[in-house]
Structure 1
Amino acid sequence: MPSRPFSRVLLPAAILSTAVLALTGCAASAEQAEDGGGTFVYAGNTTFISDWDPASYYGNEDVVLDNVYETLTVNNAETNEIDPLLATSWESSDDQLTWTFQLRDDVTFHTGRAFDSTAVKESIERTKELGLAASYEWDAVTSIDTPSPTEVVFHLSKPVPLAVHAASGFSAHIYDVEATDGDLIAWFNEGNDAGTGPYTVTDFQKGADTEVKLSAYDDYWGGWKPDQYQRVEYKVVPSETTAWQLLQQGEVDFIKQVSSQLFDEVEASGKAQAVSSPSFQNTILALNTETGPLSDIRVRKAILKSIDAEELATVLNGAVNPASGLIPEGLPGYTPGLELVKDLDGAKALLEEAGYGPSGDPLTLHLAASASNTTDEQFATLLSSTLSELNITLDAQYYDGPAKIAAVRNEDKSARPDLSLRNWWPIYPDSSSWFIDLVHSAEPTRANYSYLKNDAIDAQIDTIEGLSATDPDALQALYEQLNRQVVQEEAATTGVVVQNSQRVLADGITGYVDNLPYANVVFVYQLSSGAQ
């Protein structure tokens, strides 16, 4: 079989970070390292865990579980290339329909089972069978062979860049499907884990301030050094001011995101590290195309003409930049010229044509937004003020993650919100998920909270993965076409702003870097506490 060897895959991206993921470590075990690194405490503004199953979680869980589970490959934060992780190398046939991965032979699961090709086959087949979260990244896989414990072969129905898919932060983790003789889903959701990563779950208290605790896995294949953290805690702190106070008191080591005002305060204080970088994370606005007043495209287009993304960016003082369509700059498919610019005269004309507006019927629109999210709050404030000039009342409701999902997936479709906001970032370092998840129709919907159903657009989206493996120029053209169709023609969903990551890190900690496809994840194993 002709083959093309791969040890790395170069990804097109204009935004690079500055650290390299260590794939090997010294021979010391966690037990030998004793308490050298102590405890790393991560402060986030909302709950971390709604689903413990690595095959099905699709939210903030990755912040925790990317430290517990591992994938065959991983994005390198410095080079934006795909590097080995549980796989040591890989190759594909010339037609990219057969992919062969060589595996590490020194890995064990936290359950004690040895990691091998059978475990890879079993976990991916289970993930495919459940069909949840981002399992579609394996849709092209028709069968998996295991010629030896350290070799696994994937047979595909169409060419896809499988080494990139295997680096996904969702639905690509390898886990022990034999972790329990009972119900595996129930076992996971009791707070158990079956990963190979550097840390294992030791405590889960749903609703508690400290929601999750991890401890170092003594037999981790990468080994341990004395200054690496031996424990990790995830603390829910809705107020950034409180989080900053806790960090100054030594009770928190990392704050996920802060406002520009607090970021400047931290920087001026010299009491902690203020770390800023671009991101691939954007705020997505979905407009309900299925029910209610926004099922009229004239009203949807009027709402988009009522939004000024530049004004929002100014209010947030550098924390965000205006988005242009769905895909952030630096990823394939970025399409300039789709920024949201306020045009009140155009909005009034469309509303009056639909029977609304200053001289028409009053209108109330319901917005679902995230609690403790400054961007969402400011967006709602600005939009409410503008819409009031158009005889429209904006009723903004703020939810935590699970409650917002329940609202946008309400079985009573007439009770679903007219507008919804959410953060989005790539599931692996490419742009497909903005269209596969946020635009493609499905029942139940993945994350298409515009509820758009357009067969022609769906058919175009179905060609993305094949083009990503064979024709990047055609893929770019398709992304641009889809962006314009979804944002301008359908007025169904769009990016509003792109977040600039503004983190706070305790002094003395080194090794931190934003790995852009894994938004908000701190790979704690990479950090040095400075303790010896």
Structure 2
Amino acid sequence: MRRRLAAIALAAVLSVAACSAPADEVGMIPTSAAKGESAFVYAQHLDVITDWDPATSYSNEVKVLQNVYETLTIWDPVNKKAGPRLATSWKATSDGRTWTFNLRQGVRFHSGRELDATAVKQAIERTMKLGQGASYVWDAVETIRVNDPHSITFGLKYAAPLDLAASAAYAAYIYDTSVVEKVRDGKTDAGSGPYTIANWDKGGEHQVTLKAFDGYWGGWDGPHYRSIRYRVVPEPERRWELLQNGQVSFVDRLSPRLFAEARRTPGVRVAATPSFQTAMLLFNTREGPMRDPRVRKAVQRVIDYPRVIASLRGAGTATSGIVPAGLPGHVRNRVPRQHLEQARLLLQNAGHGPGGRPLTLTLTYADGDADQQMLVSMLTAALKELNVTLDADAMPWLEQWDRGKKGDQDIFFMYWWPDYADGYSWLGNVFRSKDPVVFNLTYLKDQVADNQIDQLPILSVTDRSAAEETVADLTERLLDQRTVAVFPWVVRYQRAYLGTVAGYDDNPAYPDVVFVYDLRPAA
């Protein structure tokens, strides 16, 4: 994943033992929502929309588009597998190379066109042809055959978990290709979801408004929010104030201090959920001082991991390997530890460290991200004691990424979460060799690792235990043998929302998305 590029830029802003941590049920703030107002107001710090096209969108608009568009399947965090959405059932052949999906009947796009197998085929083929954003989730697809109006079969080049790919947060949307070219101005959409676009005020505070699509296949019986408003409020204190005043319904991220205050505030519910989002320090294995594995190992061992977790004050949990808990491929009992004496000896063996040649390392990280800044400050101080200077540069994400693709830094600090709920997303995107560089910002070229990574989609379908063993082997090779990265924490989302909002659950496969149709406005 790529990743909602705008969202990575500033957020501590996409593992679970359960769908979400229990929300705190407390009193009630007297608000318009409590009096029957049917609008759900989502407050966030970044612009909501960078791209309206469901085929190419790859950023913060996932919060909006998941309420407007639908995918064939959706990740079920309780059962930890793909569940039905636009497809009601599916099956694969024993070799994992042929998948047939049966489609939900009675579904219409907002354009009025009926959703059928032909429409599904056209949408996926267009996404594949454009080849932008996360379109690679369909890379295994070789042929698409319409069997009848409500059945479609995919022939794959190699075995792959297509049911998971079809649930991806990006590029898996099914849309009406006959109108999709008109969506770029934000005045219309090509989706089939419960909400449709009402207004887009580009760059404004009240940026996007969605309204209920009366023809939605799920119906509108019972209490529902009939509209959604996405409000852009950069200042965290103001977002919290607006929530307390009942002017917004939901805030997707609070600082530890504000979250603690929210827990004590009558009329506010909170949820703290381990996510699938990992913080990563990627080491430049191609050029500069980090080409020396002794220097890379030393940086790994300098970090005081327990202190980092404590400093996050509940906003992060300890990592174990590359893939977070709750996903296939998670390796237990690999919590990293600090070893300052080992770091000193490694640096001295490389000719640096106390009494050796001075060493300067460059690092880039997300401008405005307090959590990343905290770790950078700790790392700077610890390295200074070992005669190493850390030259850290905070940058907007797109600038940082452009610099990263040139290999113009020793350490690249970023977040990653999966396109769909599988550990392959980290290994295939971040650690497999690619030329030109995209997200493989360690610049590693390791044919053994590449071969193992390429086998993962096949094994995940044909031999799950072998797939998990392969991920364990890759984790050891990448983190211990090649020493290409550090994973200091897994993000723990800290949400706050009005006590009048019922039915909220966090789905970690869709970072910061609220599926508003599933909520109930409670009096």
TM-score by length of 2: 0.88
Q: CA deviation at 1:177?
A: 2.0
Match of 1:380 among 376, 382, 394: 376
Q: Mean alpha-carbon deviation: is it higher for 189-198 or for 163-172? A: 189-198
Give the corresponding residue for 1:146.
Answer: 146
Q: CA deviation at 1:14?
A: 6.5
Write the distance in 2 (CA, Å) between the matches of 1:452 and 1:49.
33
Q: Per chain length, whose mean CA-contact separation is higher, i.e. which structure has more relative contact order (CA < 8 Å, sep 6+)?
A: 2
Q: CA deviation at 1:272?
A: 0.7
Contact 1:145 1:153 in 2 (8 A): yes
Cα deviation code 1:330-366 (max 9, x no counterpart): 3222223433322222222222333332333333333
Whether 1:405 and 2:405 are equivalent positions in the alignment is no
Q: Which amino acid aligns with 1:344?
A: L
Match of 1:190 among 185, 189, 193: 185
Write the distance in 2 (CA, Å) between the matches of 1:359 and 1:204.
60
Give the corresponding residue for 1:465.
Answer: 457
The 5-angstrom pairing of residues 39-54 of structure 1 reads 39-54=39-54
Give the corresponding residue for 1:421.
Answer: 413
Give the corresponding residue for 1:27.
Answer: none
Write the distance in 2 (CA, Å) between the matches of 1:291 and 1:45.
36
For the residue of structure 1 that corresponds to 2:299, the secondary structure is: helix
Q: CA deviation at 1:313?
A: 0.5
Give the corresponding residue for 1:83.
Answer: 83
Contact 1:133 1:446 in 2 (8 A): no
Q: Would the alpha carbon gap of residues 333 and 219 (structure 1) be closer, same or farther in structure 2, given more than 3 Å must change? A: same
Give the corresponding residue for 2:305.
Answer: 309
Match of 2:338 among 339, 342, 347: 342
Q: CA deviation at 1:455?
A: 2.0
Name the % identity. 40
Whether 1:529 and 2:517 are equivalent positions in the alignment is no
Q: CA deviation at 1:37?
A: 4.9
Cα deviation code 1:84-123 (max 9, x no counterpart): 1111222222333222111123222223322111111111
Q: Would the alpha carbon gap of residues 295 and 55 (structure 1) be closer, same or farther in structure 2, given more than 3 Å must change? A: farther
Q: Which amino acid aligns with 2:502?
A: T
Write the distance in 1 (CA, Å) between the matches of 2:508 and 2:282.
23
Write the distance in 2 (CA, Å) between the matches of 1:210 and 1:399.
27
Give the corresponding residue for 2:6.
Answer: none
Write the distance in 2 (CA, Å) between the matches of 1:242 and 1:472.
47
Q: Would the alpha carbon gap of residues 418 and 276 (structure 1) be closer, same or farther in structure 2, given more than 3 Å must change? A: same
Q: CA deviation at 1:480?
A: 0.5
Q: CA deviation at 1:144?
A: 0.7
Q: Which amino acid aligns with 1:453?
A: K
Q: Would the alpha carbon gap of residues 398 and 514 (structure 1) be closer, same or farther in structure 2, given more than 3 Å must change? A: same
Q: CA deviation at 1:193?
A: 2.9
Q: Would the alpha carbon gap of residues 205 and 351 (structure 1) be closer, same or farther in structure 2, given more than 3 Å must change? A: farther
Contact 1:239 1:372 in 2 (8 A): no
Match of 1:209 among 193, 205, 209: 205
Write the distance in 2 (CA, Å) between the matches of 1:273 and 1:314.
24
Cα deviation code 1:366-412 (max 9, x no counterpart): 33222343321211121121122123333333344434333323xxx
Q: Would the alpha carbon gap of residues 389 and 129 (structure 1) be closer, same or farther in structure 2, given more than 3 Å must change? A: same
Give the corresponding residue for 2:31.
Answer: none
Q: CA deviation at 1:18?
A: 6.4
Contact 1:36 1:228 in 2 (8 A): no
Write the distance in 1 (CA, Å) between the matches of 2:40 and 2:275.
23
The 5-angstrom pairing of residues 257-336 of structure 1 reads 257-336=253-332
Q: Identify unmatched segments of 5+ residues in structure 1.
A: 1-12, 20-34
Q: Mean alpha-carbon deviation: is it higher for 145-154 or for 461-470? A: 145-154
Q: CA deviation at 1:256?
A: 1.1
Give the corresponding residue for 2:32.
Answer: none
Q: Would the alpha carbon gap of residues 450 and 44 (structure 1) be closer, same or farther in structure 2, given more than 3 Å must change? A: farther
Give the corresponding residue for 2:447.
Answer: 455
Cα deviation code 1:423-453 (max 9, x no counterpart): 2222222211010111112233342222222
The 5-angstrom pairing of residues 96-175 of structure 1 reads 96-175=96-175
Contact 1:37 1:227 in 2 (8 A): no
Q: Tell me the C-alpha RMSD between the 2 structures.
A: 2.3
Q: Would the alpha carbon gap of residues 52 and 388 (structure 1) be closer, same or farther in structure 2, given more than 3 Å must change? A: farther
Match of 2:503 among 511, 525, 528: 511
Contact 2:94 2:462 in 1 (8 A): no
Match of 1:443 among 430, 435, 448: 435
Q: CA deviation at 1:524?
A: 0.9
For the residue of structure 2 that corresponds to 1:482, the secondary structure is: helix
Write the distance in 2 (CA, Å) between the matches of 1:107 and 1:101.
15
Q: Which amino acid aligns with 2:127?
A: T
Q: CA deviation at 1:83?
A: 1.8
Contact 2:280 2:416 in 1 (8 A): yes
Q: Mean alpha-carbon deviation: is it higher for 477-486 or for 158-167? A: 158-167
Contact 2:96 2:458 in 1 (8 A): no
For the residue of structure 1 that corresponds to 2:436, the secondary structure is: coil
Q: Mean alpha-carbon deviation: is it higher for 59-68 or for 320-329? A: 59-68
For the residue of structure 1 that corresponds to 2:124, the secondary structure is: helix
For the residue of structure 1 that corresponds to 2:331, the secondary structure is: coil
Q: CA deviation at 1:463?
A: 0.3
Write the distance in 2 (CA, Å) between the matches of 1:517 and 1:231.
24
Write the distance in 1 (CA, Å) between the matches of 2:141 and 2:359.
48
Q: Would the alpha carbon gap of residues 49 and 229 (structure 1) be closer, same or farther in structure 2, given more than 3 Å must change? A: same
Q: Identify unmatched segments of 5+ residues in structure 2.
A: 1-14, 22-34
Q: Mean alpha-carbon deviation: is it higher for 470-479 or for 104-113? A: 104-113
Contact 1:318 1:500 in 2 (8 A): yes
Write the distance in 2 (CA, Å) between the matches of 1:452 and 1:190.
40
Q: Which amino acid aligns with 1:348?
A: R
Q: Would the alpha carbon gap of residues 377 and 206 (structure 1) be closer, same or farther in structure 2, given more than 3 Å must change? A: farther
For the residue of structure 2 that corresponds to 1:119, the secondary structure is: helix
The 5-angstrom pairing of residues 192-271 of structure 1 reads 192-225=188-221, 227-271=223-267
For the residue of structure 2 that corresponds to 1:438, the secondary structure is: helix
For the residue of structure 2 that corresponds to 1:280, the secondary structure is: strand
Write the distance in 1 (CA, Å) between the matches of 2:227 and 2:396.
27
Give the corresponding residue for 2:30.
Answer: none
Contact 2:16 2:273 in 1 (8 A): no
Match of 2:492 among 490, 493, 500: 500
Contact 1:50 1:402 in 2 (8 A): no
Contact 1:437 1:447 in 2 (8 A): yes
For the residue of structure 1 that corresponds to 2:199, the secondary structure is: strand
Contact 1:292 1:418 in 2 (8 A): yes
Cα deviation code 1:28-49 (max 9, x no counterpart): xxxxxxx965322222233333
Q: Would the alpha carbon gap of residues 376 and 235 (structure 1) be closer, same or farther in structure 2, given more than 3 Å must change? A: farther
Write the distance in 1 (CA, Å) between the matches of 2:397 and 2:216.
32
For the residue of structure 2 that corresponds to 1:127, the secondary structure is: helix
Give the corresponding residue for 1:485.
Answer: 477
TM-score by length of 1: 0.87
